[in-house]
Amino acid sequence: MRIATWNVNSIKQRVGHLVGFLDEAKPDVVCLQELKCQDEGFPRAEIEAAGYAVETLGQKAYNGVALLVRAPLGMSEVRRGLPGDETDEQSRYIEALISGEDLAPVRVASIYLPNGNPTPGPKYTYKLGFMERLRLHARALLADEEALVLAGDYNVIPEPEDAADASAWVNDALFLPETRSAFRALLAEGFTEALRACDPSPGLYTFWDYQAGCWQRNQGIRIDHLLLSPQAADRLVSASVQKHLRGLEKPSDHVPVTVELRPR
């Protein structure tokens, strides 16, 4: 079972790249972030024609998350929005239970954590609040003892080796001590960070800024993560970064990260 996460940075601009990725990699589940469109604007026909069912939580011009599931697998128990703050109107969380005839069910969430800049300020306060809500929700889900994958753009650089130049990020919300501590607290609930479990080496990046030739100079950071519950980690086969997609014409500044789990 292949589960991929990808911040597409505008689904309307990147739908061709997405369909190409679906055809090339044939993931069973895709978690998308930063759709930048409302639900009715999502290019559902193109994705369904590629063989995928779609669930979205869109937002005009900003944010937006989606889950794509390849037939014959199905989605149920769809949750839109992260619990814990009824006033939160930002579209950053969607989850569903993925099941199929030959698959032990896996609950998957697509997450787009806030950037949090500038700091200090309300955006950073919101980021830390969102991370705490995510931790508490994740704890509740773990109590069900089912395979769970929390995938998405976390906007967190966990360690210095996750940046080509960590010194450039010391005052950024993505790398501040409070951010990294909140991420570690989430992991401490019992999650395995899939990519690092498979490859601990430095130089694994998932994002390259459009500015200053970051892609050409490989000045990247790793901020897209898949966290596995113990039941999902027991089924872990491999994890990888699809770096080549950053070299496409008019690409997203993120690339997909994919984990493969045994079906049972």
153 in active site: yes
Residue in 112, 124, 154, 205 annotated catalytic: 112
Active site residue 52: no
Among 17, 137, 225, 254, the active-site one is 254
**Residue keyed to tokens 């991420």:** 183
Give the angle 36-41-43 at the CA atoms, nearest 5°: 95
DSSP the chain: -EEEEEE-S-HHHHHHHHHHHHHHH--SEEEEE---S-GGGS-HHHHHHTTEEEEEE--SSS--EEEEEETT-EEEEEEES-TT-TT-----EEEEEEEETTEEEEEEEEEE-----SSSSHHHHHHHHHHHHHHHHHHHHHTT--EEEEEEE-----SGGGBTTGGGGTTSTTTSHHHHHHHHHHHTTT-EEHHHHH---S---SB--SSTTTTTTT--B--EEEEE-HHHHTTEEEEEE-GGGGGSSS--SB--EEEEE---
> Known binder of ligand: residue 225?
no
Pick the catalytic residue from 17, 93, 153, 225: 153
Distance between CA atoms of residues 20 and 23, nearest Å: 5
155 assigned to a ligand binding site: yes
Cis omega (within 30 of 0) for bond into 263: no
Q: Is 153 annotated as a binding residue?
A: yes
Instruction: Check whether 253 is labelled as a binding-site residue.
Output: yes
Residue 218 marked in a binding site:
no
Residue 254 is a catalytic residue: yes
Annotated binding-site residue? 34:
yes
Q: Binding site: what residues are annotated?
A: 7, 34, 153, 155, 253-254
Q: Which residues are catalytic?
A: 112, 153, 254
Q: Binding site for Mg(2+): what residues are annotated?
A: 7, 34, 153, 155, 253-254
